[in-house]
Amino acid sequence: MNLTGRTILITGGSAGIGLAFAKKFVDLGNQVIITGRNQAKLDAAKAVLPGIATIQADASKAGDIQRLAATIASDHPALDVLINNAGIFVYRNLSAPADDLTELTKEIDVNLAGPIRTISALVDILKANNGTIINVSSGLAFVPFQAAPVYSATKAALHAYTTVLRQQLAGKVEVVELMPPLVKTDMTAGFDGADDFGIVTTDVLVNATIAGLKAGHQEIRPGLANRLHWMSRIAPGFINGQLAKGAAEFIPEV
């Protein structure tokens, strides 16, 4: 993948992994557009990176995605890279009924339906510009973290979807899957024992991703994510059991 002179849209780009990628791609000489739900966070990101464009949009809302696509077509017709990064992570105990059934599936709306809808809304412009799609899934696509069952399910589903997307868009749009391990961000703040799960900084993740993109990798699996990939093939029962032990203390009491 060519890493300079691109027009790049990063969903969920106002903080964490998304903002780290925005900074890197700006430094590499790209036009960067970020989205997010919170306008104040978008404004703060723009204060740090004045050259970026910001668009308020909620990845879980179809109407927001349609408006986002219209804005891109009007204001950024050269768009040739889409990074589906927006995501949420919730600890859940499935042994008791949920009080809010809408909230129960919020991770599906953001982590899975969001990328699927965004790609559909932007696929024509990406094809016209010989573009690239980067879907951010997780090492948990291979082995679920039992304390985050819905999150893990969304990442496994996104992995399957991305595999098919790559096949269907072959020769039209490059499709890459980034599968991070645990990353030190606000999302993981307070995650006790994170070092035991191979946590990495955003800088480590970004540098590993850039190296993978330069090498032309279709799946980029830094650190623990790569180990989970191979262990899920070699010893699936063992690695599932190990993650279950580690997850037990994070499952909420009911």
Q: Which residues are catalytic?
A: 151
> How many Cβ atoms are within 10 Å of 15's Cβ, its own excluded?
19
Structure tokens at 160: 């399957």
DSSP 169: T
Q: Nearest CA to 180 among 229, 222, 146?
A: 222
DSSP 218: S
251, burial (CB in 10 Å: exposed 0-12, middle 13-18, buried 19+): middle
Write down the H helix ranges in the chain: 16-27, 39-48, 62-75, 101-104, 106-107, 114-128, 149-168, 202-215, 224-234, 236-247
Distances (CA, A) of 8 to 5, 68, 72, 126, 202: 9, 14, 11, 11, 19
Supply the Cα-derived Rg of the chain in whole angstroms.
18
Residue 158 CA to residue 91 CA, distance in Å, equals: 19
Residue type (1 letter), 168 = Q
